[in-house]
Each structure stands twice: as C-alpha cells, then as structure tokens.
A and B are shown apart, each in its own frame.
Chain A
Amino acid sequence: MRLTYPTNVKVLKVPCTGRVDVIHILKAFENGADGVYVAGCLEGECHYLVGNLRAKKRVGYAKQLLEECGIGGERVAMYNLSSAQGQRFAAIALEMTEKIRQLGPNPMKKGSRVMGHGSRENESQEQVARTEAKS
C-alpha cells in the first residue's frame, strides 16, 4: 500500500494509547503544534484491555483544559482504527489536517516547529500525531 498522508502530520509512537497523558497533549501545544490527535486501536481490541478507553477520557479532559486556556478544545481528537486499516489512517490524517487548517494556526504561536519521536516495534495505530496547519 503506497498510501500518502499529509507531511505536516508528525507521528509519535507509544506502546499503547493508554500511555498518553494529558500533559503530553498540552506539551505538544505548548511547543507549537496546531492540533493533536490520538489514534488508538478499535474499542474492545486493546492489547491492554482498556488503554484506548482511558486515552479517550484523557483526550476529553485535555479538550476541556485547552478550551479553558484559550487554545481551543476542538484542536484535539481521538480516533480508533485497527493496524490493518492503512487507508483509514491516511484518511484520518487528511481529515484532521483539513480541520486544523480551517481552525488556523495554534493561537499562541508565532512560527511552527516540527517535532517527532519514534519507538517500539508496534507499527499499529497506537500513535499520537500532531498536525501543523500550513496556511
């Protein structure tokens, strides 16, 4: 599958979305991300049983915090997909990029920076991606 997805999406891999904490999401914004989405396994299919369900709640909490500090809760989202759904991964990346582009750049930012991490073997969708709104 030679799928393409927008190059402004930087993928940070984590062993399970259950590892993603609110502070990681906030730090991404503090460092200039325009949007963050957490891509977890399908609900009910977490290797650790509930990691993705916890991530979903944390994303919800991060939304509230981002709303209260004026960055905007709509800049963060949670998606669920399986590791076999490459096409969906690309489609989500596109959808999120589009959404963030419409919202415009991170309101506190002057210039955007790009950041990425790589780790662990699991090339599944247990990934946190940040997107940059190129205008």
Chain B
Amino acid sequence: MIVANRKPFEELLEFIKPYSKILLLGCNECVTVCATGGAKEVAILASELKMHREKEGRPIEIMEHVLERNCDPEYVESLKPMVGDYEMVMSMACGCGIQFVAEHYREKLVLPAVNTTFDGVTEEHGVWSERCLGCGNCILDKTLGICPVTRCAKSLFNGPCGGSQGGKCEVDKDTPCGWQLIVDRLKEMNMLDKYMEIQPLKDWSTSRDGGPRRRVREDLKI
C-alpha cells in the first residue's frame, strides 16, 4: 500500500487561510488502511480545522467527501457536480490521487493535506514500513524476498557495507541492516551460494532515472 503522513497542522491552516468554503477529500484505499486519509481522518481534520477557525472568529465550511479511489477516472469524475460549490479542494489522498483530481479540475486549486511517503506494509497495528521503490526490475529472486533497494539505506546490490553492526544499519540503530536480513534468509534457505554471485551494476533506466513511466495494455483499451 501507499503510506502517507498528514502534513503539519500549521501548514494546512496556511493553505486554507483565504477560504471559507472548502472540499476536504479522502480516499477509501491505501490512505484509509494506513490511517491517514480515510473517512475517519477526514472527519478528524475537518473538526480540528473548523474549531480552529471558529476560535479565530473566521468560521469555515468544510464538506467531507471520500472517494472509493482518487486514482481512477470514474471516481474522480463523480466529483463534477459538487466541485464547483467550493473555493478550493484539499485532499488527504496520496500524491497520485491529489494530482489526478487536479488534472481533472483545472480551474480548481487542489492542495495536499498529506505527505506521501512510501510503498510499504503494515507491520502491526499502527506500524508501517517501506518495502518497494518500484525500481522496474525486481531482484527479489536473488535476495529471497528482501529488497536491497529499499531495505538497505544505500540501496547496495552487493552488501553489506562496513557500517553493518550487530544486524543493524549504520544510519539508525533501530533499522535492521537489509543485507544482514538477506544473508540470514539465504542461510535459512540453504542458498548461501547465491550470495557469492556478484550483482552487476543496476540499470536504473527502468526506475525513475528513465523519466516518468507509463504502462499500456492495448487489449484492455476501450
């Protein structure tokens, strides 16, 4: 899932400063699961903003609305009848959703209420961590399911580096060394010989270095 964090309250207050009637958007997918921008978080933020503005003597009207997804046109287009009623849109969806709404309603100011952070997993209730950077050429086969791009602070392909200490990464004593995890896993699976294969330089053109990526399935087009 895509994991995000709500932006600091002060920053959001600045965004909405000139306005008195706004649409606060949420999304029912990833940001609901990571408890950042689902119906509940939209309601909490709306309540906080309204109270703050009321206290300031400049009340604000906030319409809370949560789309099934903000990254698919059919849902984004469903905003059409309402979007015109508001001075601006603030969105708690991930960066993809915020952009897509902005693309669809070019006459509207659409601002982010969250910082989109990473693609990750729920380790336990209330704890999320990063797993994939979408490098475009997955090597989890070589590392037996532990991604060196995201789990090694330096994205090394032939690790570990000299900073690996007692299983922890040198950047933070609470972060496991990705390469220690890989070696442990290889040992566990009796496949340590894979560790001896030197990985060639990674071709990052399949990743962000190749520019914005796009995927087309001609057979699915209508």
Give the interface of A toward B (CB within 8 A).
21-23, 26-27, 29-30, 65, 68-71, 107-108
CB distance from A53 to the nearest CB of B (A): 13
Q: Which residue of chain A has the shortest Cβ distance to B8 in the bound complex? A: A68
Interchain CB contact under 8 A, B44 and A71: no
Size class of the B contact interface (CB-based, 8 Å): 10 to 19
Q: Is the interface of A mostly helix, strand, loop or mixed?
A: helix
Interchain CB contact under 8 A, B49 and A69: yes
Interchain CB contact under 8 A, A69 and B43: no
Interchain CB contact under 8 A, B55 and A70: yes
Chain A neighbourhood of B55, CB < 8 A: 69-71, 107-108
17 A–B contacts from the bound complex (CB under 8 Å) = A21-B40, A22-B44, A23-B40, A23-B43, A23-B44, A23-B47, A26-B47, A26-B48, A26-B51, A69-B9, A69-B48, A69-B51, A69-B52, A70-B51, A70-B52, A70-B55, A108-B51
CB distance from B131 to the nearest CB of A (A): 26
| Residues in B23-79 with C-beta less than 8 Å from chain A | 40, 43-44, 47-52, 54-55
Known: A108-B54, A108-B55. A68 touches B48 (CB 8 A): yes
Which one of A21, A22, A23, A71 contacts B51 once the chains associate, using CB atoms below 8 Å? A71
Give Cα A29–Cα B51 distance, bound, in whole angstroms. Answer: 8
What 5 A-B pairs come out closest when comparing CB atoms?
Answer: A108-B55, A69-B48, A108-B54, A26-B47, A69-B52
Chain B neighbourhood of A108, CB < 8 A: 51, 54-55
